[in-house]
Amino acid sequence: MTVDTAYTGELPGLTLLARGKVRDIYDVDDNSLLFVASDRLSAFDVVMKTGIPDKGKVLTQISMFWFDLLKDVPNHVITADVNEMPAQIQKYASQLAGRSMLVKKLKMLPVEAIVRGYITGSGWKEYQRKGTVCDLELPKGLENCSKLEKPLFTPSTKAEDGLHDENIHPDKSAQILGAELNQKVAETAIQIYETARAFAAERGIIIADTKFEFGLDNDGNLVLADEVLTPDSSRFWPADEYTPGKEQNSFDKQFIRNYLESINYDKTTPVTIPDNVITRSQQKYLEAFEIITGKKLST
């Protein structure tokens, strides 16, 4: 099986502003951007040769679901309906439907708002060395993937291309953003995480941690941007398998991880992922989508 995704990544006539590992961003006009989620698959920051069909649609439609659920928090979405987008975009409706959002162009904050409800990943590494996460003191005796008493705001700086983001103490993000804005970002991020986590928990998914990005609009309002609470920006764990003291299975990426482990993956070279691994991963992405939103993916 080759991955036959409708989105080619080539939209002549539109200006590509940036190509992330997964998303492409096109300039539309002074006030708006087109955000397209491709089906590209990245692992260990490497984009693999094989993508996952419809993954981009899952990411976009899960984000849209949360933006809607969290509509008390101002967000950057103008529309996700291609029919409502400018004519030069509608031309590519068959490639873009279901996987794209027209968004307000914002002044992005130079800090990523990470919220952790569980200690894992880089947080667990730091805790083992120093008993802290982002230099915040934590109780002794936590295990890998322990639930934290309260969700923590653990910001990071946005790294330049190719470098890894760096975790920073909230005092440092207060220096970068100003104390008042930092406080607002921290409170908003924690509040959104708590709402989403409670919602997902009722459906058997643990959202262990997540990353938000905020920007400011022309009036200086704080606006939730980027993708939200997707399997790419968050860790989703199946609740019924949760056991602290070890790595958890990832809801969506486990088959990929297992495969890469089985080939002793060097963590640098793009590789082809076998069809059966792709198919099972695709099913997991769809399952996450259906469990969380209670809907079928619009393809």
Please pick, from the candidates 226, 250, 256, 286, the single residue that binds ligand ATP as defined by CB under 6 A: 226
Q: Where are the beta strands (DSSP E) in the chain?
A: 15-19, 23-27, 32-37, 42-43, 46-47, 77-79, 100-104, 107-108, 111-118, 132-133, 136-137, 147-153, 156-157, 166-167, 205-216, 222-225, 234-238
Maximum alpha-carbon separation in the chain: 58
Cα–Cα distance between 41 and 100 in angstroms, integer? 17
> For ligand ATP, how many residues bind (rule: CB under 6 A)?
17
Q: Is 257 among the residues that bind ligand ATP (CB under 6 A)? A: no
Cα–Cα distance between 299 and 288 in angstroms, integer? 16
Q: Is 185 among the residues that bind ligand ATP (CB under 6 A)? A: no
Minimal CB distance to ligand ATP: which residue?
20
Q: What is the DSSP letter of 66?
A: H
Nearer to ligand ATP, 142 or 177 (CB): 177
Site string for ligand ATP, 7-46 (x = CB under 6 A): -----------x-xxxx-x-------x-------------
Please pick, from the candidates 28, 58, 80, 106, the single residue that binds ligand ATP as defined by CB under 6 A: 106
- Smallest separation, CB 146 to ligand ATP (Å): 27
Please pick, from the candidates 105, 116, 197, 211, the single residue that binds ligand ATP as defined by CB under 6 A: 105
Q: Is 74 among the residues that bind ligand ATP (CB under 6 A)? A: no
CB 7 within 8 A of CB 36: yes
Q: Is 225 among the residues that bind ligand ATP (CB under 6 A)? A: yes
- Smallest separation, CB 213 to ligand ATP (Å): 5
Q: Is 103 among the residues that bind ligand ATP (CB under 6 A)? A: yes
Q: Is 152 among the residues that bind ligand ATP (CB under 6 A)? A: no
CB 184 within 8 A of CB 222: yes
Query: Using CA of residue 133, residue 139, residue 143, residue 146, what is the dihedral sign?
Result: negative
153: which strand partners? 115
Closest to 83 (Cα-Cα) out of 98, 74, 72, 93: 93
- Smallest separation, CB 115 to ligand ATP (Å): 17
Positions that interact with ligand ATP (CB under 6 A)? 18, 20-23, 25, 33, 76, 103-106, 108, 213, 215, 225-226
